Structure 1
């Protein structure tokens, strides 16, 4: 995806997944709309009123978690906010990828701009400046149950603490701010709590995952049809009437994609009656890929809702003049959806590996063993199938749902947590593995086409074949293959394969 937007407004309307990608991955700057600024100011006025009245409000005039039973004076409330950031910034492990951190920052801004948090406008604007100056806090990847940790590490930099990347250099937070011409901020009542609360981390990472999963499932349809051609499949299994009598949306969209991909193919026409029916890894592509698309679309709907929800605690309702301490910061919906997405992508890789296995196995493929001449001397594509099998097996481990593994925290006050951040990180691993498996299938399937020449496939498939061959030549004899696998993986991840295809035949549907 390439955007032509010069700036993206954080407004009262919905922020899209595509907008988030534009900001986090392609560094499009952001601004707050005037309407949103007004809502932020109104909610803040109500917080100031609560403080003046010493009204009992969670996290403002009380401690947090099990400390909610402890009253906090007006004089101590601001200290509490800074203490919350410092005490909660205790993540561990390798740094989270910078585009993911940036996505979390954007979702923090969107959540805080809803007008239900009571944070000051100056504080939200400070976050906007971090995004626009491309100051990316160093955030440890591990140790979050579903909220708090990532946001705390990000917020440290607002205070001139922690660490951040700026212009390719890792700096202390205060130095990064100074080099960008910015100053640390102080936190007022409720602001520390609002900065670390909400489902923004799992939602941001989940949105990135949804975007990349759409690309993966389109590539899956493409790769499967290149394999279909190399294996002399029968396209009768893709009859549009099948979707009429089993009307799952994903099944119907997959049949549509497959027929478009095969349109005009000499190979498909020649071999349409070659077998009575193909193996299920070929014949059931509409049913399996379709189910995965249905799961993706469910997860996408959940993520889009959550992106545009108010997930702070407590929530401030300006029109009624009150606050509600609730559990909108609980990420059960997101965690469950992302676990489902991981399962669906694991299945996408699973059936792909089965096609790779058939391609390299001459007893099934009617092609030379391991897709290379003189196979006694050459191993050809024998070992890439091993790699795909290993990646698929890893995906099965990552497909264990995180959401069912809740562990009580905060002295029992938070006795059920979503584990949504774990779910979001897990699905990223599945996506990466699936992209690699797809790349291996494309490599093997294009090699299979070599043995069917001079017959030609469809316009779309031949376009992709020629594009890949500009990076990876036909395998004539054994060579080191890991670089080829990496090249195809990169072409998939950067959307170059999909762009080449869709520019030629139009967009595939999900």
Structure 2
């Protein structure tokens, strides 16, 4: 089943499904008009005489160097290749997939100036299971995830390495096996692909998803432990927790109450139990 993303409306549940899933991902067609309008704006600017940073000028200390219109595509390609400087182990494929989906959502807002064909290649790579090999350490300065995203973008150019069907290959070969063609970057497209924090955001989300899983497991473990020692559910009374006013505490108490509702073990010692309270580790 294809998962359709609407920029600005993706929920955490959707992002977790992307991380855990393997199906095709597409941007909603409504994003196309904005993407194409921004791409035209950038193309027109690149063809003009006004200096526009990163479009027809160099980068950083070379910002004052004007780039000829015929060289703007080469400028973007060189930007990507020069930032492929990551080191360390390859990012796992599930997190790489999430990173690519986050980049799709960012580009889909129609403010990056990339061509629709560039967006389509990202979608097609996700659908075909072509995952760029992205080293998990290193970036450049404070401009975001420049190095990791450069490795992602390089694969779209047929450079660097990627995996397909579980096999690591030169990116050009991986794309070829999937029936895909590398792109040639237009004005500003390299800059648009590597500016952002999709690598960091993907890694943070994976940590969040794991924390949620641990929290859910801890609630179930607490309910099982309380039942196993024939413990009391009195500390879970809603009034205690609403008085404190902490939403998380209230939710956890209600969840544990629901898990223990109807327990035969709990009912078996509700009357006649001489204990005043449960052990401290349970309470």
Q: Same fold by TM (over 0.5)? A: yes
Given that 1:96 and 1:141 are in contact with CA atoms closer than 8 Å, whether structure 2 keeps it comes out as: yes
Question: Among residues 146, 151, 154, which one is paired with 2:152 in the alignment?
Answer: 154
Query: In the alignment, is the contact (CA less than 8 A) between 1:54 and 1:74 conserved in 2?
Result: no
TM, length-normalised to structure 1 = 0.51
CA contact (8 A) 1:234 1:274 kept: no
Confirm or deny that 1:74 pairs with 2:69: yes
- Corresponding residue SS for 1:170: strand
Matches of residues 329-478 of structure 1 in structure 2 within 5 Å? none
1:199 aligns with 2:194: no
Measured in 2, the distance between the counterparts of 1:173 and 1:209 equals: 28
What's the CA shift for 1:102?
Answer: 0.9
Paired position in structure 1 for 2:173: 175
Report deviation, 1:120. Answer: 0.9
Q: 2:242 matched to which residue of 1?
A: 244
1:85: how far off? 0.9
Q: How does 1:13-412 map to 2 (within 5 A)?
A: 14-144=9-139, 146-270=144-268, 275-283=275-283
User: Residues 261 and 11 from structure 1, CA distance in 2 versus in 1: closer, same or farther, beyond 3 angstroms?
Assistant: closer
How far 1:66 sits from its partner (Å)?
A: 4.3
Q: Answer whether contact 2:8 2:105 (CA < 8 A) is retained.
A: no
Query: Structure 2 length as normaliser, TM-score?
Result: 0.89
User: Secondary structure, in 3 states, of the residue corresponding to 1:50?
Assistant: helix
Whether the 8 Å CA contact 1:8–1:31 is kept in 2: the answer is yes
Cα distance per residue 1:170-203 (max 9 Å; x no partner) = 1111111111111111111100010111121122
In the TM superposition, residue 143 of structure 1 has moved relative to its aligned partner by 1.6
- Compute the RMSD of aligned alpha carbons: 2.1
- For the 8 Å contact 1:232–1:274, the answer to whether it is kept is no
Q: Which has the higher helix share?
A: 1
CA distance in 2, matches of 1:24, 1:229: 34
Gapped runs of 5+ residues in structure 1? 1-5, 284-510
Give the conservation status (yes or no) of the 8 Å contact 2:39–2:114: yes
Please state whether the residue corresponding to 1:237 is helix, strand or coil: helix
Distance in 2 (CA, whole Å) between partners of 1:174 and 1:12 is 29
CA gap 1:24/1:54 in 2 versus in 1, 3 angstroms: farther
Q: Which runs of 5+ in 2 are unaligned?
A: none
Q: Is the 8 A contact 1:40 1:115 kept in 2?
A: yes
Question: 1:466 corresponds to which residue?
Answer: none
Mapped partners of 1:141, 1:52: distance in 2: 37
